[in-house]
Structure 1
Amino acid sequence: MEPLEHPQSVIVLDGLTLRRFAGEADLPELFAVIDESLEHLRPWMPWVAEHSRATTAEYLATRSEQWENGRDHAYAIVLDGAIVGACGLYRREDGPDDVREIGYWLRPSATGRGLVTRATAALVDQAFRLPGVEFVEIVHDAANHASGAVPARLGFTEHLRRPREVAAPAESGEELVWRLTRARCGASAVAAG
């Protein structure tokens, strides 16, 4: 695997594309996708409570700087030319430098087709191509079983459970952290190859 300074800006996955957000150009479509998905996202995503055209514009306006400083590599998930969700590879401000976290969401009409699993697998590959990354984590509320199914399918193991302040309506107050190590990912790739 060739090392990368940043993840690839565009990742093509046989009919599915992850692409770096294009700033203001993505505003109308991303806003509409979030707007259509509010009831689907509201139980688990605290930021939905603040959803507006202005907050979506602000989010997109900060993506370039976050990408360049290596803290947040956010992607539009694109299927058949349309944005159907978002995913990203993040470095938590309060976390160690050798850990990256993956987050994701989809519009309701795109769920149940393995899109997030494929996108997450691609982001795992990108993460382990970054210098110094030894661990990839997926963090979600313990009650969000749909989010937990993704790391389970990809060979992550439950790393820890910790209390967390409830920030969205369906949250249980317990956060589940799944972890995949570079060594385990390499072993899985060898076994699969």
Structure 2
Amino acid sequence: MDLPQQVIELDDLTLRRFDGAADLPELFRVIEEALEHLRPWMPWIAEHSRDRTAEFLARRAERWASGEDHTYAIVLDGAIVGACGLFRRGDTPANGREIGYWLHPAATGRGVATRATRALVEQAFRLPGVDYVEVVHDVANHASGAVPARLGFTEHLRRPAERLAPADTGVDRIWRITREQAKARAATEAG
């Protein structure tokens, strides 16, 4: 099975596989500091605890190996500032992948999520059979929507969704970029 790179270097930004229990203290601290920033949009924050973070990290290796979920620590200037992932949900067709991301508030507004997402799109299209990548977020989460908009994704559809986080409206916005769109955009950016 082909898998994405385990470490992606982007100048001062690195995406790397989580290192299980070794990352627990730092990741837990970053989440603790970002609770109020993440609470409106991330339903898992409601059950946040050190044990839950440890469980999350413990499952990363198995999910990576299965190809189901490739989750990275976002490391800026040597410190974890968030996480991003390339994954398949249970209802995602084999030729599609989804990207998700979150950041500590001190890392927002600096292009970090955009750079990380661009790198994950490149990784997705290195996988055989992947024809498209999506970003899904609540329609009211404008910061999350700005990332795919900057990267040439197009709005694919809006759908009703269960309201799981406090700021959710109950409508998901799904952005999509195809392999062909990504190639054309890369060629344009290359000049």
Greater CA drift, 52-61 or 91-100:
91-100
Letter in 2 for 1:25: A
Q: Distance in 2 between matches of 1:48 and 1:80?
A: 25
State the match for 2:173 in structure 1: 176
SS of 1:37's equivalent in the other structure is helix
Q: What are the Cα deviations for residues 16-73 of structure 1, in whole angstroms up to 9, with x where unaligned?
A: 0000000000000000000110000000000000000000000000000000000000
2:4 alignment partner in structure 1: 7
Give the TM-score, by structure 1 length.
0.97
1:88 matched to 2:119: no
Aligned to 2:105: 108
d(CA) in 1 for partners of 2:169 and 2:144? Answer: 14
Which one-letter code corresponds to 2:20 in the other structure?
Answer: G
Q: Tell me the TM-score normalised to structure 2 length.
A: 0.98
Distance 2:24 2:187 in 1: 41
Rounded Cα–Cα distance in structure 2 between residues aligned with 1:7 and 1:15: 20
For the residue of structure 1 that corresponds to 2:71, the secondary structure is strand
1:140 and 2:137 are equivalent in the alignment: yes
**Superposed CA RMSD:** 0.8
Report percent identity of matched pairs. Answer: 70
The list of structure 1 runs, each at least 4 consecutive aligned residues, that deviate by more than 4 angstroms after superposition, is none
Tell me the alpha carbon deviations over residues 138-190 of structure 1, each in whole angstroms, 9 at most, x when there is no partner.
Answer: 00000000000000000000000000010011011000000000011111112
User: Could you say which residue in structure 2 is the equivalent of 1:28?
Assistant: 25
Letter in 1 for 2:51: A
- 1:76 corresponds to: 73
Aligned length: 190
Q: Provide the rounded CA distance (Å) in 2 between the counterparts of 1:128 and 1:183.
A: 10
Q: Distance in 2 between matches of 1:168 and 1:82?
A: 27
Correspondence 1:127 to 2:124: yes
- Separation in structure 2 between the aligned mates of residue 190 and residue 82 of structure 1, nearest angstrom: 33
Distance in 2 between residues matched to 1:190 and 1:110, nearest whole Å: 29
